[in-house]
Amino acid sequence: MLLFWSWEPLLRRSANVLKGANAVFRYGDILFLKTVILVGAMVKDYLKALRDTDMPLVALHMQGNEADAGLPVHRHRKGQLVMPESGYVTCRIHEGLWMVPAGSALWIPGGVPHTNHVSSEGSCYVLLVEPDVTAMPEVGHTLSLTPLLREMIIYLAEGSHASGEGASAQGSINERLSAILVDLLPTMPREEFYFPTPHEPRLQKIATALMKDPADRRTVASWATDFGMSERTLARLVHQHVGVTFGQWRSQLRIIIALQQLSMGVAVQVVAENLGYESCSAFITFFKKVSGKSPRRYMRTVQREREKAGVIEL
């Protein structure tokens, strides 16, 4: 994993980790980070230093890498907003798997154990927010962000720095922008890019089997027979532990996998086959019903984000 940011005061707390980091940018109660590249084992210590700081808001940029296996399960006091710039981010929280495609964001409340993984060659922006700064809920969920909110996050993380005589004016702008940002976040509409994996032993085995082979089209009755229970018992268990029908539960996994594969440039026809659909049109109907966009429209959105990421000078 390559992580792009720096903050001089952290040098005093993690000198061996941050040696050689760039300039200081602290405006009032807001912390902003400029560019530095950290590799390998340095990442974990640097993240810990950032999360332990008492600054109300931290903005940073993360870049995926083919060799990256993701950070281990961890938690921190600050809430965390993860916004992919390109590619996607997967996150495990509690009893479930979250998928965050470009154009969306994931809110992880402070104190919640989780692990994030940025897709190969993907990148994302992260906001670390003190619990009392914004009125975000105490449960994790994905958000659909407006273009304005996305640009505000990118600006705060990458393009809002000034020095010398311009630092004071720029700092005032950043503080006002940050105040608007934390007020707007709770108003963003939610999305359901989430696959629950309950602790109930039989459901956990079914969830594992579905993730291993998402093209498996077995009926509820077939799954029930394979796990030694009646169809009615399985339906009741799923509703009790997940809160939806078996078909809806399986659809939540399929949309996650579809988004992952589309984000990697896999053709719509191939994605449909990988998920076990008999026709491409059936998959398109499913995808549009769940996400509100056709697969091709989604892919165009992803491509625009990639092109934008490629031409911005930081």
Mean pLDDT of the chain: 75
The mean per-residue pLDDT over the stretch 72-90 comes to 84
Structural domains of the chain ordered from first start: 2-191 (2.60.120.280), 199-304 (1.10.10.60)
Residue 309 has pLDDT above 60, yes or no: no
Lowest mean pLDDT: which of 81-85, 112-116, 132-136? 132-136
Q: Pick from 81-95, 148-162, 277-291 the range whose average pLDDT is largest.
A: 277-291
The mean per-residue pLDDT over the stretch 297-301 comes to 77
The mean per-residue pLDDT over the stretch 281-292 comes to 89
pLDDT above 70 as % of the chain: 71
Q: How far apart are CA 189 and CA 257, in angstroms?
A: 22
Contact call for residues 11 and 19 (beta carbons, < 8 A): yes
Residue 85 has pLDDT above 60, yes or no: yes
Q: How far apart are CA 59 and CA 311, in angstroms?
A: 21
Q: Please tell me the predicted confidence (pLDDT) of residue 176.
A: 85
Higher pLDDT, 121 or 255: 255
Residue 1 has pLDDT above 50, yes or no: no
pLDDT digits (tens, 9 = 90+) for 185-198: 899 888 778 888 88
Instruction: Name 296's Cβ contacts closer than 8 Å, sequence gap at least 6.
Output: 268
pLDDT band at 303 (very low <50, low <70, confident <90, very high): low
Contact call for residues 136 and 79 (beta carbons, < 8 A): yes
Q: Please tell me the predicted confidence (pLDDT) of residue 220.
A: 94
Q: Please tell me the predicted confidence (pLDDT) of residue 37.
A: 35
Q: Please tell me the predicted confidence (pLDDT) of residue 115.
A: 85
The sign of the dihedral angle between the CA atoms of 25, 4, 266, 211 is negative
Q: How far apart are CA 91 and CA 23, in angstroms?
A: 31
Q: Please tell me the predicted confidence (pLDDT) of residue 274.
A: 92
Q: Pick from 115-119, 214-218, 308-312 the range whose average pLDDT is largest.
A: 214-218
Higher pLDDT, 55 or 197: 197
Integer angstrom CA distances of residue 241 from 129, 139, 220, 250: 31, 17, 16, 14
Lowest mean pLDDT: which of 41-45, 136-140, 213-217? 41-45
